[in-house]
């Protein structure tokens, strides 16, 4: 090994060590700690005790957990496709040549940029039974005669949460997809014009196939993010009514809050594993796409 590379390696160590140390201390250690904790009975005021997989066995019998799992998966399944489709539409709008395009882009960005807790609060008020905007519009327009009990029924709360999430995260999808749109060579679109393809044909025959990889990226980003949804729902519906909108993260949080770190950790580990499997799928899909394109 030569001196210059020694020197480079030394410099490199100095340069990357803050990153490594921080990530190690505040991400890796907690993650490993959680993994370990999931195999302990670790409740406040009781002695810590190794129980191996007992927490997980309990989980599968736990109807509250099953409900959280079902809600989270359903939530992702419903909201993510809406976000991608709507995001695609927004991206195409943001990509047209119009005056004040920068302002339009900034406006689209705003819902994503503000704290989810704030948007949760705004939507909570919008859905308010007696004086919220939603019921005002519904009754004024005569869509329903009675006000809708948005946050008081399971279905109402689910719809409310999905709409709020779509509002909050469509901008993100739109921005990612916009980047994809901008990467499409203009000549290709002009060629399609010359070939007298109409707007829809251009979209289906040219734009969509070229966008496939980036759509997959956006889809998986949103999916992984949706799986760990917490703050918006915590603020908006508080997980209710009766746990109908409690996400997995929220469910684990409740146990942490109650001082049951073993069980809470076990719930988190399940979420890890779902996210991990999806990441693997994501990497595989990414490889597949690059291999193909």
Partner 1 sequence: MSENTVRNWLVLAGIVFCLAFCLFPFIYMLVISLSTRADFLSQRASFKFTLDNFNAVLTDGSLHFPDYLRNSFLISLASAFFCVVIASLAAYAITRLQFPGRMSLLFFALAVSMFPQIGLVGYLFKFMTRLGWINTYQALVLPYTAWILPLSLWILVSYFSQIPRELDKAALVDGCTYRQILCKVILPVAAPGVLSVFLLSFIFAFNEFMFALMLTTDYRARTVPVGIALFQGLHGQTPWGNIMAASVVTTLPIVILTLVFQRHIMAGLTRGAVKG
Partner 2 sequence: MKVELTDITKEFTSLRGRVVALDDISIKIDEGEFFVLLGPSGCGKSTLLNLIAGLEKPTAGRIQFDDKVVADTDRRIFLTPKERNVAFVFQSYALYPHLDVFENIAFPLRIARIEKAEIKKAVEQAAATLEITDLLAVRPAELSGGQRQRVAIARAIVRKPNVFLLDEPLSNLDARLRIAMRAEIKNLQDKLGITTVYVTHDQVEAMGLGDRIAVLNRGKIEQIGTPESLYEKPAGIFVAQFIGSPPMNIIDASIIKADGKLCVVLGNQKLVIPSEKIREIEGLKENHFILGLRPEHITINPPDNAQMLTATIHSVESLGRETAVYLDVDGLAITALCDREGMGKGRQVRVRIHLDKMHIFKGER
Site for partner 1 in 211-240 (CB under 8 A): 214, 217-218, 221, 224, 227-228, 230-231, 234-235
Which element (helix H / strand E) includes 277? helix 261-292
Residues making up the chain, counted from first to last:
293
Task: Decide if 232 contacts 252 (C-beta within 8 A).
Answer: no
**Rounded Cα distance, 77 and 70, in Å:** 10
Q: Which residue has the tokens 């060590």?
A: 17
- Measured from the CB of residue 56, what is the shortest distance to partner 1 in angstroms? 15
198 belongs to the binding site for partner 2 (CB under 8 A) = no
Residue in 143, 155, 179, 188 binding partner 1, rule: CB under 8 A:
179
Number of chain positions touching partner 2 (CB under 8 A):
4
The stretch near partner 1 (CB under 8 A) out of 53-61, 74-82, 201-209, 250-258 is 250-258
Of residues 84 and 227, the one with the C-beta less far from partner 1: 227
> Is 175 a binder of partner 1 (CB under 8 A)?
yes
Report helix, strand or coil for 152: coil
State the binding string over 4-33 for partner 2 (x if CB under 8 A, else -).
xx----------------------------
Per partner kind, with CB cut-offs from 5 to 8 A, the member of partner 2, partner 1, none near residue 110 is partner 1
User: Shortest approach of partner 2 to residue 1 CB, angstroms?
Assistant: 11
Which of partner 1, partner 2, none lies near 3, with the C-beta cut-off 5 to 8 A by kind? partner 2
Query: Does residue number 119 form part of the binding site for partner 1 (CB under 8 A)?
Result: yes
Which of 3, 47, 140, 187 touches partner 2 by CB under 8 A?
3
Our CB check for partner 1 shows the closer of 53 and 280 to be 280
Residue 54 token pair:
């007992």
Q: How far is the CB of 32 from partner 1 (least distance, A)?
A: 8
Question: Residue 43 phi/psi, 5° resolution?
Answer: -110, 145
- Nearest alpha-carbon partner for 246 in 95, 59, 64, 116: 64
36-65 residues in contact with partner 1 (CB under 8 A) are 37
Residue with tokens 């539409």: 89
Q: CA 181, CA 96: separation in Å to the nearest integer?
A: 10
Q: 73 or 122: whose CB is closer to partner 1?
A: 122
The pairs formed by 247-250 with CB atoms below 8 angstroms and a separation of 24 or more are 247/68, 247/71, 247/72, 247/75, 248/65, 248/68, 248/69, 248/72, 250/68
Q: Which does 2 bind (CB under 5 to 8 A by kind): partner 1, partner 2, none?
A: partner 2
- Nearer to partner 1 by C-beta: 108 or 244? 108
Exposure class string for 130-166: b at 16+ Cβ within 10 A, else e = eebebbeebeeeeeeeebbebbeeeebbbebbbbbbb
Rounded Cα gap, residues 221 and 169, in angstroms: 11
- Two tokens, residue 175: 């921005």
Which of positions 1-30 make contact with partner 1 (CB under 8 A)? 5, 8-9, 11-13, 15-16, 18-19, 22-23, 25-30
User: Packing angle between helix 63-95 and helix 248-257, nearest 10 degrees?
Assistant: 130
Residues 131-170 that bind partner 2 (CB under 8 A): none
Residue 163 structure tokens: 């709409």
Residue 40 pairs with which residues in a beta bridge?
A: 50
Chain contacts with partner 2 (rule: CB under 8 A): 2-5
């Amino acid at each position: 090994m030569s001196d210059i590379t020694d020197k480079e390696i030394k410099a490199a160590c100095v340069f990357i060590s803050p990153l490594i140390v921080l990530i190690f201390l505040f991400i890796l250690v907690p993650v490993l700690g959680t993994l370990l904790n999931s195999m302990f009975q670790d409740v406040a005021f009781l002695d810590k005790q190794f129980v191996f997989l007992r927490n997980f066995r309990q989980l599968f019998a736990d109807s509250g957990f099953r409900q959280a799992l079902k809600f989270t998966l359903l939530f992702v399944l419903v909201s993510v496709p809406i976000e991608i489709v709507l995001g695609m539409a927004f991206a195409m709008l943001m990509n047209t040549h119009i005056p004040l395009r920068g302002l339009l882009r900034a406006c689209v960005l705003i819902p994503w940029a503000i704290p989810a807790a704030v948007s949760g609060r705004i939507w909570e008020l919008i859905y308010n039974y007696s004086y919220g905007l939603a019921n005002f519009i519904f009754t004024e327009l005569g869509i329903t005669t009675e006000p809708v009990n948005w946050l008081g029924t399971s279905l109402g709360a689910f719809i409310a949460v999905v709409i709020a999430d779509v509002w909050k995260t469509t901008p993100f999808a739109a921005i990612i997809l916009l980047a994809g749109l901008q990467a499409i060579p203009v000549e290709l679109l002009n060629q399609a014009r010359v070939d007298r393809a109409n707007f829809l044909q251009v979209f289906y025959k040219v734009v969509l196939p070229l966008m496939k990889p980036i759509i997959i990226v956006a889809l998986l980003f949103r999916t992984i993010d949706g799986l760990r949804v917490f703050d918006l729902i915590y603020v908006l519906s508080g997980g209710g009514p009766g746990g109908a909108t409690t996400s997995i993260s929220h469910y684990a949080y409740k146990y942490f809050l109650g001082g049951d770190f073993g069980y809470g950790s076990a719930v988190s580990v399940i979420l890890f594993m779902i996210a991990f499997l999806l990441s693997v799928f994501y990497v595989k899909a990414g490889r597949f796409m690059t291999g193909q394109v």
